[in-house]
């Protein structure tokens, strides 16, 4: 994962948020719609930055520079609200958009898809991170964390959704750390940048840098969260902003499982 290539190409900001899918534990389908665009907030609406090749957005004709002014007949709201709406609609749903394009309103009908498969598989042991600790006092090698529930959060300083999720991860770490939870934030940026963001955000969990972690985990969008159970196996991979309630439900469910 080399900074610029991942950062600006990879539907970072809330982009693939609006394109997140959560696989069923038994592998039977998904519970979230996937659009495949990079989005940012503007006074007019949601500005489309990059459109992921071969995504539902690209197939529907959505273009970089379009401004989404309506989603299913209503104002799209914030990026997070739009993301939640796309996710809730589900794979295969028809999702109507109205966009501003060259000062004209254009109707774009998207059939939502399934998020691209990730480099880690549910039920499998994740690859080594090969990370260097920047902040915090916990180990960063996953083998040393066996017996604990681990949330590996891939993030970057320029990623708005990453910063949005950090306070929730902070609270989870503080509330459930003594019960067996470890939160590990991983970035491919420099230690100085990671440390600066950590101090700005008052991060209490462990931050680490890894120039190869993203590529090992096939991370193409940020934030990407990998949940690992006490047995050291991947239980969930999610792309994009996760709300505090869902994160806490995931953590409490995994913590309730008996250690191997």
- Per the CB < 8 A criterion, the answer to whether 162 and 240 are in contact is no
- pLDDT at residue number 219: 87
97 bridge partner residues: 71, 108
**Residues in Cβ contact with 163 at an 8 Å cutoff, skipping those fewer than 6 apart:** 197, 201
- Residues 162, 103 share a domain: no
Please indicate, yes or no, if residue 138 is contained in any of the structural domains: yes
Please count the other Cβ atoms lying within 10 Å of the Cβ belonging to residue 44: 10
Please indicate, yes or no, if residue 126 is contained in any of the structural domains: no
Q: Can you give 74-99 as a three-state secondary structure string?
A: ECCCCHHHHHHHHHHHCCCCEEEEEE
H-state helical runs in the chain? 3-9, 56-60, 79-89, 160-176, 191-200, 213-216, 244-255
- pLDDT at residue number 7: 37
- pLDDT at residue number 138: 86
- pLDDT at residue number 55: 83
For the four alpha carbons of 227, 232, 234 and 239, in that order, the dihedral sign comes to positive
From 35, 51, 162, 181, active-site residue = 162
- Residues 223, 156 share a domain: yes
CATH assignment of the domain containing 49: 2.30.42.10
- pLDDT at residue number 117: 54
CATH assignment of the domain containing 156: 3.40.30.10
Q: How far apart are CA 144 and CA 237, in angstroms?
A: 21
Cis before 126? omega within 30 = no
Q: Is 159 a catalytic residue?
A: yes
110 bridge partner residues: 95
Q: How far apart are CA 126 and CA 194, in angstroms?
A: 23
Please indicate, yes or no, if residue 12 is contained in any of the structural domains: no
- pLDDT at residue number 220: 80
- Residues 152, 65 share a domain: no
Please indicate, yes or no, if residue 1 is contained in any of the structural domains: no
The closest of 178, 120, 149 to 257, measured between CA atoms, is 149
- Residues 136, 93 share a domain: no
- Residues 228, 144 share a domain: yes
66 bridge partner residues: none
Please indicate, yes or no, if residue 8 is contained in any of the structural domains: no
- Per-residue DSSP letter, 231: T
The closest of 169, 111, 88, 168 to 136, measured between CA atoms, is 169
- Residues 228, 165 share a domain: yes
Question: Which residue range(s) make up the domain with 223?
Answer: 132-255
What's the domain count of the chain?
Answer: 2
- pLDDT at residue number 75: 95
Each residue's pLDDT expressed in tens, for the chain with a length of 260 residues: 333 333 333 343 333 333 333 332 222 233 478 888 878 889 999 999 778 777 899 999 999 999 999 999 999 998 878 988 998 899 999 999 999 999 999 999 999 987 665 568 888 999 888 899 999 988 999 999 999 999 999 999 999 999 999 999 999 999 999 999 999 999 999 999 999 999 999 999 999 999 888 888 888 889 999 999 999 999 999 988 888 999 999 999 999 998 77
- Residues 158, 89 share a domain: no
- Residues 148, 178 share a domain: yes
- pTM exceeds 0.85, yes or no: no
Tokens of 17: 């948020």
- Per the CB < 8 A criterion, the answer to whether 169 and 249 are in contact is no
Q: Is 162 a catalytic residue?
A: yes
Please indicate, yes or no, if residue 20 is contained in any of the structural domains: no
- Per the CB < 8 A criterion, the answer to whether 210 and 5 are in contact is no
From 159, 181, 183, 222, active-site residue = 159
């Amino acid at each position: 994962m080399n900074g610029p290539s991942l950062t600006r190409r990879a539907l970072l900001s809330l982009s693939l948020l609006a394109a997140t899918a959560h696989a069923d534990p038994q592998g039977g389908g998904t519970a979230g719609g996937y659009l495949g665009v990079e989005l940012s907030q503007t006074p007019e609406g949601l500005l489309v930055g990059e459109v992921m090749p071969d995504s539902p957005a690209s197939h529907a004709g959505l273009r970089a520079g379009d401004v989404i002014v309506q989603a299913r007949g209503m104002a799209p709201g914030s990026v997070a609200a739009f993301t939640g709406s796309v996710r809730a609609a589900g794979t295969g749903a028809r999702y109507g958009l109205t966009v501003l394009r060259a000062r004209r309103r254009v109707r774009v009908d998207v059939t939502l898809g399934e998020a691209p498969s990730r480099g880690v598989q549910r039920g499998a042991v994740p690859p080594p991170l090969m990370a260097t600790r920047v902040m915090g006092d916990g180990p960063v090698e996953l083998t040393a964390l066996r017996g604990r529930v681990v949330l590996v959060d891939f993030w970057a300083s320029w990623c708005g959704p990453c910063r949005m999720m950090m306070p929730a991860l902070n609270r989870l770490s503080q509330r459930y750390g003594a019960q067996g939870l470890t939160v590990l934030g991983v970035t491919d940026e420099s230690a100085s940048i990671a440390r600066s963001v950590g101090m700005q955000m008052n991060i209490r969990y462990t931050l680490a840098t890894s120039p190869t972690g993203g590529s090992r985990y096939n991370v193409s969008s940020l934030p990407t969260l990998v949940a690992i159970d006490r047995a050291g196996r991947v239980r969930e991979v999610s792309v994009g902003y996760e709300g505090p309630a869902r994160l806490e439900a995931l953590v409490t469910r995994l913590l309730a499982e008996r250690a191997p």
